[in-house]
Amino acid sequence: MSEPPRSDRGHTDDLMSFLTASPTPYHAVATAAERLEKAGFRQVAETDAWEGTSGGKYVTRGGAIVAWYVPEGAAAHTPFRIVGAHTDSPNLRVKPQPDTGAHGWRQVAVEIYGGPLLNSWLDRDLGLAGRLTLRDGSTRLVNVDRPLLRVPQLAIHLDRSVSSDGLKLDKQRHLQPVWGLGDEVQGGDLIAFLEEEAGIPAGQVTGWDLMTHSVEAPAYLGRDRELVAGPRMDNLLSVHAGVAALTAVAGQDLPYIPVLAAFDHEENGSQSDSGADGPLLGGVLERSVFARGGSYEDRARAFAGTVCLSSDTGHAVHPNYAERHDPTHHPRVNGGPILKVNVNNRYATDGSGRAIFAAACEKAGVPFQSFVSHNSMPCGTTIGPITAARHGIRTVDIGVAILSMHSVRELCGAEDPLLLTRALTAFLEG
């Protein structure tokens, strides 16, 4: 049995570790911050005055993180090169009153976040993770990464029509997971359980942002292990690549200021204080200019020369549904990153953006592919058009081609994560 080259295997192993450590956007931010700290970056608080010193810095806000490296002697009008991504994935999230149940089953009340493939959440061993807010306003991360919940599917004997009519799920009635037995629902049980799991004194948690995740570990797949199956590749694959690329270029004498911007809430429209349609990125970039003694004119010059690569997963051609793809655009896994194009601006790429990405791939020695939707199929979108419109920044949409997008478990090529990272590194180097 052949295996991926050692360099590919090491990078992809690291991606799988990143996925496992990041069951929620809050954990993804913490994992990214830990890696940035090891590379010499230092966190700055939004409430503090910022100094115009060189070096690596980062800001966190909920499930979002923005990190940047200021080269020694960088002028106030130095443009930025940005890798944009998002930390959130479609899933099942806990409601404000989580304790529910019926007929001797204890259940957790959940709400649908984003657009998950609902059937992929059935009969999965699920953990529970997220952020707990205490009475004093502080927050704690919690991760019950073991089989705790399950959404049981109805047996075929009780729904014979499923074979002929297909599976039909009611989002309210059919997706509430079970987590125990008991005839009487006790309000507060789930939060009390999580307080104990997190080592928090009873009664201290007054707010929570909790979500389910599959506890099945990422794994290599296929005859030659040339594929990777795992959770939340949309879009932690890009976050992982962005962190790796930014830390790789930090310390170099660069003509640009490299930036990683990983936002929350892309899956439901990006309209939040930590989403791409919020003020976070613009505020960070402006404060960086002003901290280095820049004026509004310097800010305008810096933004005018800035380019963002919006990196998000895209659709590989599906062998069982090839007719759903444009007949002349069939991206393949392990074929290199994809350049996403849509003339109706669902993606932000134009011809000049294509040239920028092509130059980065050529410099990195990385092949790339083009993706465009079938004319009869609606096209998805990304943070790319939002970033371009909100900040007036030239933006290019790219990503890695995968199968099973928005499933609890997605599929990519084992070589593509490294190819993406190499392309992003070359782009940040300018």
Please, which pLDDT band fits residue 160 given cuts at 50, 70 and 90? confident
User: In the predicted model, what is the mean pLDDT of the chain?
Assistant: 95
Residue 320 has what DSSP assignment?
A: T
Lowest-pLDDT choice from 161-165, 265-269, 305-309, 362-366 = 161-165
What per-residue confidence (pLDDT) applies to 164? 83
Q: 92 with 211: CB under 8 angstroms?
A: yes
Asked if the model's pLDDT at residue 1 lies above 80, the reply is: no
Percent of all residues in the chain with a pLDDT value above 70, rounded to a whole number? 98
Q: What is the mean pLDDT of the segment spanning 375-392?
A: 95
Please, which pLDDT band fits residue 200 given cuts at 50, 70 and 90? very high
pLDDT digits (tens, 9 = 90+) for 43-52: 999 999 999 9
pLDDT digits (tens, 9 = 90+) for 256-288: 999 999 999 999 999 999 999 999 999 999 999
pLDDT digits (tens, 9 = 90+) for 112-133: 999 999 999 999 999 999 999 9
Interior/surface letters 85-108, b for 16+ CB within 10 angstroms, e for the rest: bbbbbbbbbbeeebbbbeeebbbb
Give the neighbor-by-neighbor strand order of the sheet with 257-263: 42-43, 55-61, 64-70, 257-263, 80-86, 307-311, 394-399, 338-340, 369-371
What per-residue confidence (pLDDT) applies to 196? 97
Q: Give me the sign of the Cα torsion angle 172, 178, 181, 182.
A: negative
What per-residue confidence (pLDDT) applies to 7? 47
What per-residue confidence (pLDDT) applies to 426? 98
Q: Give residue for tokens 């009475």.
A: 135
The pTM of this model reads: 0.96
Q: Which of 34, 200, 26, 214 is nearest to 116 (CA)?
A: 214
Angle, CA of 114, 120 and 122, to the nearest 5°? 110
pLDDT digits (tens, 9 = 90+) for 280-337: 999 999 999 999 999 999 999 999 999 999 999 999 999 999 999 999 999 999 999 9
- Give one DSSP letter per residue of 185-211, joined into a string: --TTHHHHHHHHHHTPPTT-EEEEEEE
* Amino acid at site 230: G
Q: Which of 153, 146, 140 is nearest to 209 (CA)?
A: 140
Asked if the model's pLDDT at residue 6 lies above 80, the reply is: no
Please, which pLDDT band fits residue 8 given cuts at 50, 70 and 90? low
pLDDT digits (tens, 9 = 90+) for 17-36: 999 999 999 999 999 999 99
Q: What is the mean pLDDT of the segment spanning 95-114?
A: 96
Q: 403 with 318: CB under 8 angstroms?
A: yes
pLDDT digits (tens, 9 = 90+) for 46-84: 999 999 999 999 999 999 999 999 999 999 999 999 999
